[in-house]
A and B are shown apart, each in its own frame.
Chain A
Amino acid sequence: MTEAKTHPQLEVRSLRKSYDDGRIEALRGVDLTISAGDYVAISGASGSGKSTLLHLLGGLDVPSSGQVLFRGLSLTASDLDDYRARQIGFIFQAFYLLPTLSAIENVQVPMLALGENGHNRAQRAEELLVELGLSHRLKQYPNELSAGERQRVAIARSLANDPSILMADEPTGNLDSVNSARIMEILTGIQKKRGMTLIIVTHENDIANAAPRHIRIRDGRIEH
C-alpha cells in the first residue's frame, strides 16, 4: 500500500472496470469518498454498475484502472484477502451461507481466517446470533431456516470479524416486505450502535431514499 496524506475511510479515484477484453464497461471513471461511520445507499438500474462498484470497494475484485484507497492507502491485489478478512463484512442477496454448516458454525467461518481459537469463535458466534434474535436457531442448518432467519445469520457472519465497514448487496432482494423492514431495521441499528460504515446497494427507492447519503449510478457513472 502507498501512504497518502488525507485519510477518508474509503476513496476511489477514476475507477474503471471492464469485462470481455474491454468490450463491456461496467464502470467508466468513478470518483467517490466515504467517511468512517457513513451510511450510504448506492442505487441504479440493473446493469448500471452498482454491484461492480461495491465489489471493488469491498476488495472482491480488482479495477481495470483507477484506485481504491482505504484510510489513505491504495489497495493492491495482494492486500485484498487481508482487507476483506479484517475490515469488511459482506451481506449478499442470496445469503450465501454454507449449506453443510449450522448457523453457529457459519458465523464462525470468518474467524477461522483470523486464527481465533475454537472457544472464542463459538462464544462470539453465539453472542452475535443471540443479538440478532436467533438464540433458538443456533444448531439449525440453512435449509431449516426461513429466508429472514438466513439473512440474519448472514448478518451475524458479516459482523464476526468485527469489521469497520458493512457492505450489503441487495440485502432485501429475496425477502418479503415484513422481513425486508426487519433486516433494514437491524442493519441501520447495527450501524448506529457500532458506528460502522454501512454501504447498501439496492434497487428499491424506499431503502435508498432512507439512507442519509444516496448515490445513483447510471451506465457506470455516478449521477450528479
Chain B
Amino acid sequence: MIFNIMDLTPEVNAIVFGWLDDTYEFNSLTFTSGSRFHNGKPEAIIGDTLARNLNKKVGDPLVMQGSTFTIAGIYHGGTALEAGAVILPLDQMQQLSSMQGKVSGVHVRLRPVPSGESQEHYFKRAQAAIEAVVPGLNAQLATDRATNNQFVDLAHAVAWGTSAIALIVGILGIANTMAMSVFERTREIGILRAIGWKSWRVMVLIETEATALGFAGGILGIGAGWAGLRVLSYLPKTNIFVSTSLTPVHLLQSMAISVICGILAGAYPAWRGAHLSPVEALRHD
C-alpha cells in the first residue's frame, strides 16, 4: 500500500491510500453506495465525510493532481481519518505519486495465535519471519505503528505543548485575579483577622474562591472546547482530523486539571493574604 496527503481542492485535503483491489482491508469498510474499485482502472472510493464535503456521489469524477478518477464507491469509516480518506487502486496511486513499482508499506494479516504459544511470542516470531524475507524491512505491529508513528508523536507533542501553554496561561490568569482580589480586599482580610479568624481560615477562604474559579473555568472551557470541536468538524479543511466525541474520562480529566490549576494558582495569593498583619491590613486604603 501507499499513503500520502493530497490537496483535492484549495480548501479540502485528504489522506489518499493506494490498495490492491483484492486486499483483505476492504473487510473493515462498509459501503453506503457503490462498490470497490478495480486494479488498472482510474477509479476511487471515498469516505462518507469526504463525499459530503465535496458533494460527490458514486459515478462522479474526482480530480487529483490533474488526473481524473471515477468514484466507484462511498464507504462509512469508523474513524475521522478513514471517513475523510480517498482510496485508489495501488497502480493508480503509484502513478499519481511517481512511485511506480514502489510501496510505502505492506499490511500483513497474521493467522490466529497457535494454541500453546503466547501472543507476544507469536508476534515476535512473525516479525522476525517478515523481516527475514526482505533485508532492511522493519516489521511493526499495527498497534505499535499507530502509537509510535512519527506523525502521531508530533501531533501528541503539539497537543501537549498547546495544552501546557493554555494551562500556564490559565494558572497565571487565576493567580492574577486572586492576587488582585486579595489586594482589593486587604482591609476585609484585616477585619476578618482582627475579629479572630486564623491565618489558615483566611487561606481556605481564598483557596476556595480560586478553586471555584478553576471549576467554573473548567465548565466554560469544556463548553467552549466542545463548541470549537463542532465548528472544526464542519470545516472541510479540518473535519477529517477532528472527532467530536467527548468521553466521561476526558470530561473528568479536564475538570480535575482545571480544579488543580485553581488550587495551584490560589496558593500564593492565599498565603500572602493569610499572613497580612491585621493592623497593616486595616490601614490599607
A85 near B196 with CB under 8 A, answer yes
B279 near A110 with CB under 8 A, answer no
- Name the CB-closest residue of A to B195: A110
A96 to B187: give the CA distance in the assembly, Å: 8
* Interface assignment of B278: CB less than 8 Å from any CB of chain A: yes
A118 to B225: give the CA distance in the assembly, Å: 40
Majority secondary structure of chain B interface residues (helix, strand, loop or mixed): helix
- For window 191-214 of B, CB contacts with A under 8 Å fall at 191-199, 201
* Interface assignment of A45: CB less than 8 Å from any CB of chain B: no
* Interface assignment of B21: CB less than 8 Å from any CB of chain A: no
A90 near B198 with CB under 8 A, answer no
B171 to chain A: closest CB distance in Å? 27
A88 to B196: give the CA distance in the assembly, Å: 8
A161 to B282: give the CA distance in the assembly, Å: 20
* Interface assignment of A109: CB less than 8 Å from any CB of chain B: yes
**Of B195, B277, B279, which contacts A113 at CB under 8 A?**
B195
A81 near B199 with CB under 8 A, answer yes
A98 to B194: give the CA distance in the assembly, Å: 12
Majority secondary structure of chain A interface residues (helix, strand, loop or mixed): helix
A60 near B278 with CB under 8 A, answer yes
For B254-285 the 0/1 string (1 means CB < 8 A from A) is: 00000000000000000000000111001000
A161 to B197: give the CA distance in the assembly, Å: 12
Interchain pairs with CB closer than 8 A, number: 53
- Name the CB-closest residue of A to B205: A112
B197 near A113 with CB under 8 A, answer yes
A85 near B198 with CB under 8 A, answer yes
**Of B191, B193, B198, which contacts A98 at CB under 8 A?**
B191
Interface residues on B, range: 10 to 19
B280 to chain A: closest CB distance in Å? 9
- For window 47-103 of B, CB contacts with A under 8 Å fall at none
For A83-101 the 0/1 string (1 means CB < 8 A from B) is: 0111010101000111000
- Name the CB-closest residue of B to A97: B191
Contacts of B188 on A, CB cut-off 8 Å? 98
B196 near A81 with CB under 8 A, answer yes
Contacts of B193 on A, CB cut-off 8 Å? 81, 84
Contacts of B194 on A, CB cut-off 8 Å? 60, 84, 90, 96
* Interface assignment of A61: CB less than 8 Å from any CB of chain B: yes
Known: A60-B279, A61-B277, A61-B278. A109 touches B199 (CB 8 A): no
B195 near A84 with CB under 8 A, answer yes
Contacts of B277 on A, CB cut-off 8 Å? 61
B191 near A84 with CB under 8 A, answer no
- Name the CB-closest residue of A to B200: A81
B282 near A112 with CB under 8 A, answer no
- Name the CB-closest residue of A to B199: A81
* Interface assignment of A114: CB less than 8 Å from any CB of chain B: yes
* Interface assignment of A157: CB less than 8 Å from any CB of chain B: yes
- Name the CB-closest residue of B to A55: B279
- Name the CB-closest residue of B to A83: B196
B195 near A157 with CB under 8 A, answer yes
Contacts of B196 on A, CB cut-off 8 Å? 81-82, 84-86, 88, 110, 113-114, 161
B198 near A96 with CB under 8 A, answer no
A199 to B196: give the CA distance in the assembly, Å: 18
B282 near A113 with CB under 8 A, answer no
**Of A55, A60, A97, A113, which contacts B198 at CB under 8 A?**
A113
A82 to B196: give the CA distance in the assembly, Å: 7
- Name the CB-closest residue of B to A52: B279
A112 to B277: give the CA distance in the assembly, Å: 20
- Name the CB-closest residue of A to B197: A113
Q: Select the residue from A60, A86, A92, A97 with max chain B CB neighbours within 10 A.
A: A60
- Name the CB-closest residue of B to A84: B196
A55 to B190: give the CA distance in the assembly, Å: 13
Q: Which 7 A-B pairs have CB atoms at the shortest separation, nearest pair first? A: A85-B196, A113-B196, A81-B198, A110-B195, A84-B196, A61-B279, A60-B278
A interface vs B, CB < 8 Å? 55, 60-61, 81-82, 84-86, 88, 90, 92, 96-98, 109-110, 112-114, 157-158, 161
B interface vs A, CB < 8 Å? 187-188, 190-199, 201, 277-279, 282
- Can you list 24 A-B contacts with CB-CB less than 8 angstroms, sorted by A residue number? A60-B194, A60-B278, A61-B278, A61-B279, A81-B199, A82-B196, A82-B198, A84-B193, A84-B194, A84-B196, A88-B196, A90-B194, A90-B195, A96-B194, A97-B191, A98-B188, A109-B192, A109-B195, A109-B197, A110-B195, A113-B195, A158-B195, A161-B195, A161-B196
